[in-house]
């Protein structure tokens, strides 16, 4: 059974999707053992507590620089014996220390089809604002391994979602979450826990299909 640690900063709907998937048995060979938040008041913490999952707060605001903050998060994950680290709406870009400690053992859900609308500055609602400004007709979500390059790691799973006339960033965000993020994140976590993701030359392959 793999220990899954989830990093959060906000509402935690992706965490909720993982909790629901765990409850329904969709996540095979893994369980959420700890939720770590960069913000003390993140609603995601309540979701974890309501489900009897251990929580820790490592507040970004209490650290002077990203190196010290990354070290604190890395140390906590080592202490928790994390086998898999999931960034689920975690809004801080950590430095390469953590990638060295957990190579191809961290995954992130991004609310667009990478390599579009990603990288520094593309997070949360901003992503959907940029999608709407650009006029693309398809967007979606991506789950990828975390490497030193922001949103640049091997892609595990993607799902496309339609952009519709009259969409606001909020409406589009909700559709992307419902139709893509909440589905591909638990599915990717389950594949990882079953050792069914192999990475070669920066490309992820799903095995045993
Ligand atoms: C989600 O849409 C997630 O993909 C995005 O923030 C939202 C968090 O929602 N993450 C990023 O933009 C990271 N680059 P949640 O807290 O309800 O899961």
What predicted TM-score, i.e. pTM, was given to this entire model?
0.97
Q: Is the CB of 109 under 6 A from ligand 1?
A: yes
pLDDT for the residue numbered 4: 98
Encode the chain (209 residues) as per-residue pLDDT tens digits. 999 999 999 999 999 999 999 999 999 999 999 999 999 999 999 999 999 999 999 999 999 999 999 999 999 999 999 999 999 999 999 999 999 999 999 999 999 999 999 999 999 999 999 999 999 999 999 999 999 999 999 999 999 999 999 999 999 999 999 999 999 999 999 999 999 999 999 999 999 86
Q: How many residues make up the chain in this entry?
A: 209
Closest CA to 117 of 108, 130, 132: 130
Closest CA to 69 of 97, 27, 111: 97
Closest CA to 27 of 55, 6, 8: 6
**Tens digit of each residue's pLDDT (9 = 90 or more) over 45-62:** 999 999 999 999 999 999
CA 109 to ligand 1 centroid distance, Å: 7
CA 181 to ligand 1 centroid distance, Å: 9
Name the one residue in this structure whose structure tokens are 């995601």.
44
Mean pLDDT computed over every residue of the chain: 97
Mutate to test the pocket of ligand 1, among 19, 35, 47, 89 (most ligand atoms within 8 A of CB): 89
CA-to-CA distance for 82 and 138, rounded, in angstroms? 35
Q: Is the CB of 140 under 6 A from ligand 1?
A: no
Please provide the DSSP assignment of 130-178 as one string.
HHHHHT-SEEEEEEEE--SSTT-SPEEEEEEEE--TT--HHHHHHHHII
The answer to whether 148 and 96 have CB atoms below 8 angstroms apart is yes
Domain 2-206: top CATH class: alpha beta
Closest CA to 17 of 190, 161, 149, 163: 190
Q: Is the CB of 124 under 6 A from ligand 1?
A: yes
Residues noted as catalytic: 110
pLDDT for the residue numbered 126: 97
pLDDT for the residue numbered 208: 85
pLDDT for the residue numbered 209: 67
- Closest atom of ligand 1 relative to the 173 alpha carbon: 2
| Tally of helices (H runs) and strands (E runs) in the chain | 7, 9
CA-to-CA distance for 21 and 198, rounded, in angstroms? 22
Q: Is the CB of 169 under 6 A from ligand 1?
A: no
pLDDT for the residue numbered 16: 98
**Tens digit of each residue's pLDDT (9 = 90 or more) over 168-200:** 999 999 999 999 999 999 999 999 999 999 999
For 142, the token pair is: 């991506």
CA 184 to chain CA centroid, nearest Å:
10
Q: Is the CB of 114 under 6 A from ligand 1?
A: no
CA-to-CA distance for 148 and 79, rounded, in angstroms? 22
Measure the CA angle with vertex 131, ends 128 and 135; round to 5°. Answer: 145
């Amino acid at each position: 059974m793999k220990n899954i640690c989830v990093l959060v900063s906000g509402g935690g709907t992706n965490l909720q999707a993982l909790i629901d998937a765990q409850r329904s048995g969709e996540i095979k060979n893994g369980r959420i053992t700890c939720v770590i938040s960069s913000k003390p008041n993140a609603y995601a913490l309540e979701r974890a507590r309501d489900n009897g999952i251990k929580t820790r707060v490592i507040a970004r605001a209490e650290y002077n620089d990203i190196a010290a903050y990354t070290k604190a998060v890395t140390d906590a994950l080592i202490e928790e014996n994390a086998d898999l680290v999931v960034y689920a709406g975690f809004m801080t870009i950590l430095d390469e220390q953590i990638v060295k400690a957990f190579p191809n053992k961290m995954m992130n859900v991004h609310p667009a089809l990478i390599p579009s609308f990603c990288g520094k500055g593309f997070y949360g609602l901003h992503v959907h604002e940029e999608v709407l400004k650009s006029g693309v007709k398809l967007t979606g979500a991506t789950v990828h391994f975390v490497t030193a390059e922001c949103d640049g790691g091997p892609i595990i799973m993607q799902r496309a979602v339609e952009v519709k006339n009259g969409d606001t960033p909020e409406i589009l965000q909700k559709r992307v979450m419902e139709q893509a993020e909440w589905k591909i994140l638990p599915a990717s976590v389950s594949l990882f826990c079953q050792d069914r993701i192999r990475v070669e030359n920066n490309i992820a392959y799903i095995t045993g299909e």
